[in-house]
Structure 1
C-alpha cells in the first residue's frame, strides 16, 4: 500500500513539474490576407487557439515545443520555441500566402466548382423561374428535399393528423436532422481534420468512422453549431477520448 501511495505521489509530482514548465506566450501573426481565426497549434504540448481580428494570440508552450500556424489562405508554418522566445514570452510570425498554380493551360469553358461561375461558363440553358423573369418570390435558403417533404407532411390538419399517427412526420424529422448533421460535420472535417489529428493521431482507416461517431452523438448540434473552432475542437477531443476507449473495448 505504501509503495502504491509513493508511486501515485511521484507520478503526480511529475505532472505538476510538466505543467509548471509551460509558459504563456503572446504572439502576433502578420500576413497580407485576413489574419483572424488562424489556427495556432502546439503540436508538442497539445494546446490550441486561434488568432483575433488583429492577428494576436496567446498559447501555452515550453522549450522546444513546435507551434504550427495553419489557414486556408496561408502556407502552413512551424516555429520551434527556443530560449529567446521563452525569455521574452513573445513570438512574431510572418505568413506567406498560399499560391495555387495550374499545371497546364486549359482552353475553353472551365467549371470551377463556384455555382454562379459554372452557370455562366456552362452550355446549359437555365430554366425560367422568378429569379430571372422578374416575379417576386422567396430568395432565402432553398429547402432540401427532406425539408420540403417535412413541410408538406405538416401542412393541413388532415396531413398533420395522419402523418403524426403513422409516424411519417417523425421519420422525416429524423431525416432532416441527419441531413443537417452531415452538412455540419463535413464543414468541421474540412476545417479541423488536420489540426485534430496533428494533436491526436488516429489511423486513417478509422477517421471517417470517428466523424460519423461525432455527428451521431446527441449533443453534436448543441456543442458544435454556431460555435468557434476552439470550442468545436474541445468537443472533438472529448469525443476522441471516448472513441479510443471504445476501440480498446472491442
Structure 2
C-alpha cells in the first residue's frame, strides 16, 4: 500500500513538473534604455513568436519555461533572456538595453575626432550649404522622383475622356499617343518594379537578421526568398508604410509558401 502511495505521489509530481515546463503563458515586459525604446524587436526564437515594443518600451509575448527571448534594435546591443521559473511565476520581464555606439578609428585631420559619429558631426566646423530658402527661391522638398517616375510624368496619363478633347484641340497629344502605343503602361510597370525592389531592399536590410533568427534559411536562398516576397501581388499593400511586426507577419506567411516550393523542387 505504501509503495502504491509513493508511486502515486511521484507520478503527481512528474505531472506537475511537466505542466510547469510545458505551460505557455503571456508575459508582460518593459524595455528600458538611455535612448528610444519604441519598435524594438522582441523575438521568441524557441517558439517563433515576435512582437515590438510601444513608445514606452512595453510589450507582451507568449513563452514557456526555458524559451529564449531576443531583444534586437539598430540602436542597441542585442540581448538574450532565458525564461526562468521566476519569470513564469511573475509573468513579467524587465530588460535594460545598452546603447550601441557607432565607433570609428580615431583620425587626426586638423582636429581630434572622438569616434562617436553624432558628437563628431556636431563638432565639425564649416558653414552649411546654401539652400533655396536662403535666397528666397521656392523649391521642392518632397522625395526626388526616379528616372522612371519622371518619364512616366512626361508621358502623361491617358484617360478615355481625353479623346473628346481632341475636337476642341485643348489637350496635348502625348498622353493619348503614349496610352495607345502602350508606352504609359510599360512605364507604370517599370515604376512598380522599381518601387517593389526598393521596398524589398529596405526590408531585407532592416529585418532579415531578426527574421532568420526565427526562420533559418540557407545563405544562398535568402536573397531569392526576398525576391519571392516582392513578387507577391499584395507585397506593397502588406509592407509599404507598415509596422515591423506587420511586415514580419507577411514574411512569415511567405516563408511557408517558399519552403513548400523549395521542398517540392527537391522531390
Q: What TM-score does the superposition give when structure 1 sets the normalisation length?
A: 0.81
1:218 matched to 2:220? The reply is no
Question: d(CA) in 2 for partners of 1:211 and 1:169?
Answer: 28
Q: Which range moves more in the overlay, 98-107 or 161-170?
A: 98-107
Q: Deviations over 1:61-81 (max 9, x none)?
A: 000000000011110000000
Structure 2: 5+ residue stretches without partners: 1-18, 158-170
Equivalence for 1:45: 47
- Please give the alpha-carbon distance, in whole angstroms, between the structure 1 residues aligned to 2:44 and 2:199: 26
- Compared CA separation, residues 217 and 108, structure 1 to 2 (3 A): farther
Larger Rg: 2
Give the SS at the match of 2:233. Answer: coil
Inter-partner Cα distance in structure 1 for 2:235 and 2:64? 33
2:148 & 2:221 partners in 1: Cα distance?
29
Q: 1:175 aligns with which of 190, 196, 200?
A: 190
Q: TM-score, normalised by structure 2?
A: 0.76
Q: Distance in 1 between matches of 2:234 and 2:70?
A: 30
1:195 matched to which residue of 2?
A: 210
1:68 aligns with 2:70: yes
RMSD: 2.8
| Residue matched to 2:23 | 21
Aligned residues: 224
What's the offset of the Cα at 1:102? 1.6
Measured in 2, the distance between the counterparts of 1:131 and 1:248 equals 58
Moved more, 225-234 or 63-72: 225-234
1:144-155 aligned within 5 A: 144-154=146-156
The secondary structure found in structure 2 opposite 1:242 is: helix
Deviations 1:195-236 (A, max 9, x none): 110000001111111111111110101111121111110100
What's the counterpart of residue 58 of structure 2?
56
Counterpart CA distance in 1 for 2:90 and 2:215 is 29
The answer for the alignment partner of 2:84 in structure 1 is: 82
The partner residue of 1:232 within 226, 231, 247 is 247
Q: Distance in 1 between matches of 2:108 and 2:200?
A: 34
Given the superposition, is the C-alpha separation of residues 135 and 201 from structure 1 closer, same or farther in structure 2, using an over 3 Å criterion?
A: same
